[in-house]
Amino acid sequence: MSRFLIERLRPLEEYVPGEQPRDKKYVKLNTNESPYPPSPSVIAAINAESAADLRLYSDPTGLRLKKALAGYYGVGAENVFVCNGSDEALSFFFAAFCGTDVPINCPEISYGFYPVFAQYYGTPYNAVPMEDDLSVDHRRFLGVKGHIMIANPNAPTGIALSPDEIKEILESDPDRLVCVDEAYVDFGAQTALPLLADHPNLVVVRTYSKSRSMAGARLGFAFAAPEIIADLEKIKYSTNPYNVNRLTQSAGEAALLDGEYYRENCRAIIRDREFTVSELKKLGGVLTPSTANFIFVRFPGKDGGEIYHALKERGVLVRHFGLERIKDYLRITIGTREECAVLIAELKNILGGKNE
């Protein structure tokens, strides 16, 4: 930390992204990326882009991409915001709507970036308690003061609320915003998007990083009432007007031409998730019921951190969180069937005490 860093930011504990190691080739199951490449139309669109055109700025309105998303999801272009990864939509949500006097309410254990944004923007953060089985009881959100941000399915548990439960939260107070972060919704949960027409206090945040295999392109989007979108645009034009680059805008539009390709990838990931869950149960694993592209597992009597290190030594990278309540859990991204098989084989070795 330099002596120039402003006072307000000195205590900030920044978000720590999952490792992107370069030391050796891992079976990489730690950051919820897709194991499959982007679709043929995306690759064609990127190849057709002219490097020479990179001298030109990207379209700051992102209008073609917005229209394509609006058509795909059955909303108006004025209901769509596009951004540099969904993290940016979440950040802008805080910037626009959560002041130092408007708290944000999130499940006690959720995406680790939420409390970081709250601290960065000086927003009071209310961690809403979760149940013993790590599920979220939506009724705990009905009386809270301030806005709400919920990952649905939640991370790192993968447990989802139903649209009816989200609806009850929305209707409990129309004067508060409910931001539903649907980064993982395409792997088996239900979207809150149909609620948008009747609930102008809903913001739905989505990403191309998971089900559309484009984590490295950094493309996120959000759906909300036009005046909410206008507020997010106001933040964008006050900080970074060209937030989505040219290549990414083209790729994002092209991906929407290949809906079936991505749906098939999601079905494969769901099949491999169910396979992995049943294999891990045979090894004594206890899991939360995940509808995401990752699972959350612990092995009673075993130390989560030790298993994480043992897997890493064997070339399998998963995610371990230091938080006390979940310190014995591992969050494991569902890779290809072969990658899942390697994970299971290595876990067998580790838990059986072989090859130590």
Q: Which is nearer to ligand PMP, 88 or 173 (CB)?
A: 88
Question: Does residue 240 bind ligand PMP (CB under 6 A)?
Answer: no
Q: Partners of 332 in the beta sheet?
A: 295
> How many residues touch ligand PMP (CB under 6 A)?
12
Question: Does residue 334 bind ligand PMP (CB under 6 A)?
Answer: no
Question: Does residue 257 bind ligand PMP (CB under 6 A)?
Answer: no
CB of 112 to ligand PMP, least distance (A): 8
Q: Which is nearer to ligand PMP, 173 or 291 (CB)?
A: 291
How far apart CA 170 and CA 201 sit, in angstroms, is: 7
* List of residues 6+ apart from 64 with CB closer than 8 A: 249, 253
Considering only residues 47 to 86 of the shown chain, the ones binding ligand PMP according to CB under 6 A are: 85-86
Q: Which is nearer to ligand PMP, 87 or 328 (CB)?
A: 87
Sign of dihedral through CA atoms 166, 172, 174, 179?
Answer: negative
Question: Does residue 130 bind ligand PMP (CB under 6 A)?
Answer: no
Question: Does residue 283 bind ligand PMP (CB under 6 A)?
Answer: no
Q: 83-122 mask for ligand PMP (x: CB under 6 A)?
A: --xxx-----------------------x-----------
**For residue 143, what are its two tokens?**
């009386």
CB 130 within 8 A of CB 107: yes
Q: Which is nearer to ligand PMP, 17 or 122 (CB)?
A: 17
Residue type, 324: E
- DSSP 8-state symbol, 9: G
How far apart CA 133 and CA 268 sit, in angstroms, is: 27
Question: Does residue 215 bind ligand PMP (CB under 6 A)?
Answer: yes
- Angle CA 299–304–310, to nearest 5: 105
Q: Which is nearer to ligand PMP, 215 or 342 (CB)?
A: 215
Name the closest residue to ligand PMP (Cβ).
85
Sign of dihedral through CA atoms 11, 17, 18, 22?
Answer: negative
Q: Which is nearer to ligand PMP, 35 or 299 (CB)?
A: 35
Question: Does residue 328 bind ligand PMP (CB under 6 A)?
Answer: no
- DSSP 8-state symbol, 25: -
Question: How distant, in Å, are the alpha carbons of 6, 18, 100, 122, 267 from that of 12?
Answer: 11, 19, 15, 10, 40
**For residue 344, what are its two tokens?**
């299971």
CB of 217 to ligand PMP, least distance (A): 9
- Angle CA 173–175–181, to nearest 5: 80
Out of 98, 134, 183, 256, the only residue in the binding site for ligand PMP (CB under 6 A) is 183
How far apart CA 350 and CA 356 sit, in angstroms, is: 7
Out of 35, 38, 220, 304, the only residue in the binding site for ligand PMP (CB under 6 A) is 220
Question: Does residue 340 bind ligand PMP (CB under 6 A)?
Answer: no
Out of 77, 151, 161, 280, the only residue in the binding site for ligand PMP (CB under 6 A) is 151
Tell me the helices (H) and strands (E) count for the chain, helix number first: 10, 12
Question: Does residue 201 bind ligand PMP (CB under 6 A)?
Answer: no
CB of 281 to ligand PMP, least distance (A): 24
Q: Residue 55 burial (CB < 10 Å; 0-12/13-18/19+)?
A: exposed
Question: Does residue 181 bind ligand PMP (CB under 6 A)?
Answer: yes
Closest by CA position to 152, among listed 200, 105, 188: 188
CB of 160 to ligand PMP, least distance (A): 12
Binding residues for ligand PMP (CB under 6 A): 85-87, 111, 151, 155, 181, 183, 207, 209, 215, 220
